[in-house]
Amino acid sequence: MDKNKKAKEKLVRERTRLLLSRPFFGILALKLEFVPEPEIPSMSVDGISLFYNPDFVLRRSSGVICMLIAHEVLHCALGHIWRQGVREKEKWNYATDYVVNLILAKEGFDVPKDCLCDIEYDGMEAERIYAKLGNERLSTMDSHEKWPGQKSESKDKKEGEKKGDDGSERSGEKQDEPPKKKDSEQKVNAKGIQEEKKLEKRWKESLARAVAAALLRGKLPGSADQFIKDVFEPKLNWRAILRDIIITSAKNDFRLLPPSKKHLWREMYLPSIQGESLVMAMAVDSSASISPEEFQALLAEVRGIAEEFGTFTVYFFLCDAKIHFRTILSEHDEWPNEFQKQNGGTSFVPVFEAIEEENLSPSVLVYLTDGDGEYPSFPPEYPVIWALSKEYEVPFGASLIVEGEKT
């Protein structure tokens, strides 16, 4: 019998075993189509298919294959393949594997000893584990190269290999001007982002249905609370997530030791970044959608992050349908402590246009809004964090829910 067929039969058999004994994982596994992919070392997912190396599947025990199907399913159900944002790829891979393998170990799966599985990270979401990890090289049992965000990185790497050491094209084309993305390429990228958003939404809905189905059969995993926290309550850790994205976007060589004393009270051992510099932008929606409490909460957090750097520059904007106020903040300046609400509509376009026209080149833009407004046609080259006052599906960038201090 053809080895591809043998391997697929083994996968189908283990998926059936999951359906009968662990319906939560089995129901979710039905969403993935098994696709042979000899070029990958083991298994990988993209949210639609589960890719597998036939030789690997046939070589491993049934218990390990069953565990790996559940492993790939959880990467999709927990949104790991979309939540990477601007984080470093390899470290994000390690963090998500710690989450998944710890869950599966607690559920009694056959987790191999060479998997990333450390009780130190038990109960933590991937973002918090990522912040705790150092720069050591680890190994993962599965492959993450099919993940949407990492596929584009692989493509960029291949394109880079076509260039010389100095970045010039080997074909001898003129390099007088830096290459610009064509409108068609930007449209393809925007379409890809929209497709990922739809796929992520479908997995969230599937997760909710799998929880309900497992409850009806009395076989809901004991770690279900963590699934719900990871996927449906990301706002609980918005401060840590904000700090993580801003610092990662700054692309500085910061040090893990000594750790930042500012966050030790939270039991968060985060890198010290003293002596480094930060250039970022911050915009606030000055229409009636933002409360003073939300403004103060985000401003305090951004200011605290900026002040951890040796020097910083923050381009600050207040904008509804147009920019009403702007200033440049550094470590020597007073920060605004309140804003005057305007009665106009909401458009985010003026801030993006000002940044582009003036070549400000921020490492990241943080935009406080309720999300309801006019967006630019295409995402910018720098990362964008939408700090939202309510749930809203943004067309690009990372999003988190900001909560003001309760009084």
Domain ranges of the chain: 1-161+191-232, 234-401
Closest by alpha carbon to 386, among 372, 377, 378? 372
Under 8 Å between Cβ of 90 and 81: no
Provide the 10 A C-beta neighbour count for residue 339: 17
Question: Per mean pLDDT, which range of 60-69, 264-273, 329-338 is the poorest?
Answer: 264-273
- Given this model, what pLDDT does residue 183 score? 55
- The answer for residues whose C-beta is within 8 angstroms of residue 165's C-beta and 6 or more apart is none
Which pLDDT value is given to residue 33?
Answer: 93
Residue with more model confidence, 314 or 117:
314
- Could you tell me the pLDDT band of residue 399, with boundaries at 50, 70 and 90? confident
What confidence score (pLDDT) does residue 228 get?
Answer: 64
What type of residue is 3? Answer: K
Of 20-24, 218-222, 235-239, the range with the highest mean pLDDT is 20-24
CA distances to 6, 312, 334, 362 from 330, rounded to whole Å, are 63, 5, 8, 14
Average pLDDT over residues 115-136: 83
Q: Residues 81-90: what's their mean pLDDT?
A: 80
Q: Highest mean pLDDT range out of 41-45, 76-80, 193-197?
A: 41-45
The larger pLDDT score, comparing residue 1 to residue 356, is at 356
* 64-73, 127-136, 296-305: least confidently modelled range: 127-136
With beta carbons less than 8 A apart as the criterion, state whether 243 and 130 touch: no
pLDDT at 314 over 90: yes
The radius of gyration of the chain's CA atoms, rounded to the nearest angstrom, is: 23
Residues paired with 7 in a beta bridge:
none
Q: What percent of the chain has pLDDT over 90?
A: 31
Per-residue pLDDT, averaged over 22-50, amounts to 91
| Contact of 360 with 202, CB cutoff 8 Å | no
Question: How far apart (Å, rounded) are the C-alpha atoms in residues 298 and 319?
Answer: 16
pLDDT at 71: 94
Question: Would you call 365 helix, strand, or coil by DSSP?
Answer: strand
Return the residue matching tokens 């699934």.
227
Mean pLDDT, residues 32-44 taken together: 92
- Sheet containing 49-52, strands listed edge to edge, beginning at the edge strand earlier in sequence: 33-36, 49-52, 43-45
Enclosing H/E stretch for 242: helix 238-250
